Amino acid sequence: MNARTSMSVAGGAALTIYALFFASSYDQRILTLSGIYVILVLGYQFIFGHAGALSLAQGAFFGVGAYTTGILGSKFGADFLLTFPLSIVVAATLAALVSLPVLRLKTHYFALATLALSQLLLLVAINWEPVTGGANGLPGVPPVTILDWKLTRGLPLLTFVWAIVGMAMVIAHMQMRAGRVAAFTVMRETPLAAPSFGIDSGMLRLRAFLLSAAFGGAAGALFVHTNRVVSPETLGFGVMITCLTMTVVGGRFGILGAVIGALLLTHLPEWFRGFDEYYLVAVGILLLAAVVFAPEGIVALIAPAKAPHENDKPSLHTQSKRASATKPSRLALEAIDLAKSYGGVRALDGVTLSFGPGEIVGVIGPNGAGKTTLANVLTGLTPVDQGTIRLGGRDITNTPAHIIARMGLARTFQTPQLPNALTVRDLVETTQRAHGMSPAADEALDLLTIRSIADARCDTLPHGLRRQVEIARAIATNPGILVLDEPAAGLSPDEQDEIAAICISLSASGMAILLIDHNIEFLSPCVSRLICMEAGRVIADGASDETLTNPDVRNAYFGVISS
């Protein structure tokens, strides 16, 4: 048992004793509301914490759940066994319907779209009086009723709500096992690169959005049973702000953070009632202090986590159930007449090239020649305007990057794309999981002789090691094709030699490697062919010596000097 778990157990026990033996009916009510907010915040953690998307629709899902239960309950006296699941389904369905146009939006554009959606729903609730009761809302929502068994206020309702909170915690825990938490971390911290590691960002975001909506709907339904009335306030921006505040103050990840945030923010105004009309000023001051002194959430103060997964212990000691295949699949990559423009700039202009198993092909060219665009296009990160790409004979033109990655094309980036919060082992194994492989990082780490840093967090690594970790992650999935974008940049000559040696040994086992770099001293000894690009075109493609002596190349590369 670690510190956080024992603390949670002790806190939970204390709270239970308080609720059972010392809490007045009023205290029990506040605890009931806290429980409902725990569910809401647990849901919000999926999309806002793990997926890192600022959704402003969590209040809307809460309100939709509230109105589903409120309308069915007050107008038809429907049973909890019907209304509760329906509230969840309606909220999740709404999320599914809007996900297609909305989930692709980035950062604040996503936030605004979810906000506009929430405001539209609020308008409907206020103005569709015959159905929603308008601004007054609908009174007479029955208490939780399960087959003629009516749950009374106070301890029974409190127990019932916290039983559902318990279920929500179990679901959240099961949904966010260590492996998936790590995949979310990669997606959140390196969003542009994540698909290249086989991570299906779209599916992850959708999963997080649907889960957040389902939890929001459940919380809204319980909220209405607790207040016995449904009104537009449940759809208002206030609920959203409360939820956001609870999540940030408590913690964006993990059950403990949700519980702390919900308990604190629900009780805070009640504690300060003595200040009369200034009590909300006092609440504001304390809230400000909480954020300033615990910007990562109070949970981070109580029990600092080294990585954002308190749900599971990372699978440090369960490695190598099955040794991964040592031989890479043999693949060839073929690109025909690729073109890509940004605005008026032709980054790629009729590029044709191919390479196959056992080959190491170097790509050189001055800055802005289109080398990185080539890497992005070949790996599917950037769609092409024109041309065809074939991987192992299959047309992969404009195929999503995560599918190309899973077909056996791995890459590294000019700036290593390593999420801060993961350990090296978690990082490598997350990529393996995304490729449908059993996690087994050791072999790849051994190949780069970096097994000793397997348990170090990525943000603690120096630059040279970061490059090696990137390469280890790329080869850990036994790709047929490896694209390395400036792997030697910023490395010492010794480190460069090491990378060259690794490339040679990988190609000897049948991997096809595309090496993009400036550094001819680094490339020359290891490449079997050298391609030179200039202004989006291939101006030379041949053996190393041939390319280097090509007059066009000399002109492009050393133009200023030689002319």
- Pick one of 13, 81, 288, 323: the residue that binds other proteins (CB under 8 A): 288
Contact 196, 381 (CB under 8 A): yes
Does 31 interact with other proteins (rule: CB under 8 A)? no
Does 105 interact with other proteins (rule: CB under 8 A)? yes
Shorter beta-carbon distance to other proteins: residue 340 or 435: 340
Q: Which of residues 71-90 bind other proteins (CB under 8 A)?
A: none
Sheet containing 360-364: order of strands = 409-411, 481-485, 512-516, 360-364, 529-534, 537-542
- Pick one of 7, 11, 15, 54: the residue that binds other proteins (CB under 8 A): 54
Does 272 interact with other proteins (rule: CB under 8 A)? yes
Q: Which helix (H) or strand (E) holds 165?
A: helix 155-175
Does 342 interact with other proteins (rule: CB under 8 A)? yes
Shorter beta-carbon distance to other proteins: residue 245 or 477: 245
Does 306 interact with other proteins (rule: CB under 8 A)? no
Q: At what angle do helices 25-44 and 237-250 cross, to 10 degrees?
A: 80
Q: Which neighbouring-strand residues pair with 534?
A: 537
Q: Which of residues 147-206 bind other proteins (CB under 8 A)?
A: 153, 190, 192-193
The Cα 294–Cα 514 span in angstroms is 46
Does 33 interact with other proteins (rule: CB under 8 A)? yes
Does 226 interact with other proteins (rule: CB under 8 A)? yes
Does 295 interact with other proteins (rule: CB under 8 A)? yes
CA distances to 349, 370, 531, 543 from 345, rounded to whole Å, are: 10, 10, 21, 30
Does 274 interact with other proteins (rule: CB under 8 A)? yes
Q: Which of residues 496-535 bind other proteins (CB under 8 A)?
A: none
Q: Which of residues 395-424 bind other proteins (CB under 8 A)?
A: 413-415, 417
Binding piece for other proteins, criterion CB under 8 A, among 117-125, 162-170, 506-514, 526-534: 117-125
Shorter beta-carbon distance to other proteins: residue 246 or 500: 246
Contact 195, 381 (CB under 8 A): yes
Beta-strand runs (E) in 392-536: 394-395, 409-411, 481-485, 512-516, 529-534
Secondary structure (3-state) at 224: helix
Q: Which of residues 237-256 bind other proteins (CB under 8 A)?
A: 237-238, 241, 244-245, 248-249, 252
Q: At what angle do helices 255-271 and 237-250 cross, to 10 degrees?
A: 120
Q: Which of residues 476-495 bind other proteins (CB under 8 A)?
A: none
Sign of CA dihedral 152, 154, 156, 159: positive
Does 139 interact with other proteins (rule: CB under 8 A)? yes
Does 29 interact with other proteins (rule: CB under 8 A)? yes
CA distances to 496, 518, 527, 540, 547 from 543, rounded to whole Å, are: 21, 17, 8, 10, 6
- Pick one of 3, 97, 285, 543: the residue that binds other proteins (CB under 8 A): 285
Supply the minimum distance, in Å, between the C-beta of residue 559 and other proteins: 25
